Amino acid sequence: MRYYVKDKTLVVKGDFDGLSTGINGGRRRVSAILNHEVGKDFDHADPAAYMDGVASKLAVECPCFYFLTAVYMENLCVVRDQQVTAFVTAGVSNPCQVPGTVNVILVVHGRMSEGALASAVITTTEAKAKALFEMGFDFTGTTTDAVAVLSEELKTDVCGPVFFEYSGTGTDIGQSIYRCVKKGVEEGIKRQHALINGNHRSRLFVYAISDEKGPYWIEYPREECGKGRCPYYPCHFEGQDCTYCYCPLYPCEDPELGEWIKSRRGYPVWTCKDCTLLHRKKAVDYLARHPDATTEKLRSLH
């Protein structure tokens, strides 16, 4: 999987087996999914054809799933937990007509049964509703909400492929889906509707567990850091924006930058602890201008 934001569009690429409720939704294999920001007055006669044009402009190969959102793409939240990544844009300006839209793209890093794919939509919806209720809203979503569940089989030499038969909240993968979606909806709404300090920059949230703290969320970029205050300097160059303290290329699967290892829980994890690719100013500057750049291109910059 690879994701980036370009021209107000979230692009998530991979080899996905998917299910979507979006404008060209359904059940099929796709090579990408796009979540595109539009104005609140957007009214195109053929949204799918419009998005075909967006995909073409971004040079994204089809087949694709498409989402539209009136939420500012700068308020996108990305939430990771073990074998799940959730991409959430959330707005609730009106539960009925105005396109606030809660869009959830859920990527499960393992193969899923047909039942697990469908059940994950239910788990996602339950988590979204719980987040809204806990924030004081009396509705479960807007009329334009959409969900996509994408399953991507990881092929590594360290262990066999991960397979999920079920994905309800009684399963480990269901719990991961639930907590990621709930966190993403909460944080997305806070940012879109300015319910937190406008300087709050964190957009990526990683679930972690330690013997000392128990479960907790790590936020990136860290609020106490920012330009010129990175705790990893001089490993990073002086003044580096801590946006890149969590690599946006992860997991890049470039054998020159890292390798797959088997976790204590038995699933594959990409490790790149010795990679310094985004510690190089030229690579960072190029990636900021070209978010779809390949690792090969970034490695060539000296």
Three-state helix/strand/coil letters over the chain: CEEEEECCEEEEEEEEEEEECCCCCEEEEEEEEEEEECCCCCCCCCHHHHHHHHHHHCCCCCCEEEEEECCCHHHCEEEEECCEEEEEEECCCCCCCCCCCEEEEEEECCEECHHHHHHHHHHHHHHHHHHHHHCCCCCCCCCCCEEEEEECCCCCCCCCCCEECCCCCCCHHHHHHHHHHHHHHHHHHHHHCCCCCCCCCCCEEEEEEECCCEEEEEEECCCCCCCCCCCCCCCCCCCCCHHHHCCCCCCCCCCCCCEEEECCCCCEEEECCCCCHHHCHHHHHHHHHCCCCCHHHHHCCC
Q: Taking residues 223-235, what's their average pLDDT?
A: 54
pLDDT band at 94 (very low <50, low <70, confident <90, very high): low
pLDDT at residue number 264: 80
Q: From 3.30.160, 1.10.3470, 3.60.70, 3.40.50, which CATH number describes the 2-220 domain?
A: 3.60.70
The share of the chain scoring above pLDDT 70, in percent, equals 86
User: Does the pTM of the predicted model rise above 0.75?
Assistant: yes
pLDDT at residue number 98: 42
Q: Taking residues 88-105, what's their average pLDDT?
A: 74
pLDDT at residue number 52: 97
Nearest residue to 33 via CA among 125, 152, 141: 152
Among the ranges given (60-74, 156-170, 265-279), the one the predictor scored with the smallest mean pLDDT = 265-279
pLDDT at residue number 168: 97
Q: Taking residues 121-146, what's their average pLDDT?
A: 93
Between 142 and 88, name the one with better pLDDT: 88
pLDDT band at 243 (very low <50, low <70, confident <90, very high): low
Residue 95 pLDDT more than 70? no
Among the ranges given (91-105, 166-180, 207-221, 235-249), the one the predictor scored with the smallest mean pLDDT = 235-249
267-300 pLDDT per residue, tens: 888 888 888 888 888 988 898 889 999 999 999 9
The share of the chain scoring above pLDDT 90, in percent, equals 55
Where in the chain are the domains? 2-220, 225-302
Residue 55 pLDDT more than 80? yes
pLDDT at residue number 276: 84
Residue 99 pLDDT more than 50? no
Residue 22 pLDDT more than 50? yes
> CA 88 to CA 147: how far, in whole Å?
10
pLDDT band at 174 (very low <50, low <70, confident <90, very high): very high
pLDDT band at 196 (very low <50, low <70, confident <90, very high): low
Residue 35 pLDDT more than 80? yes
Between 209 and 138, name the one with better pLDDT: 138
Residue 96 pLDDT more than 60? no
pLDDT at residue number 266: 81
Residue 240 pLDDT more than 90? no
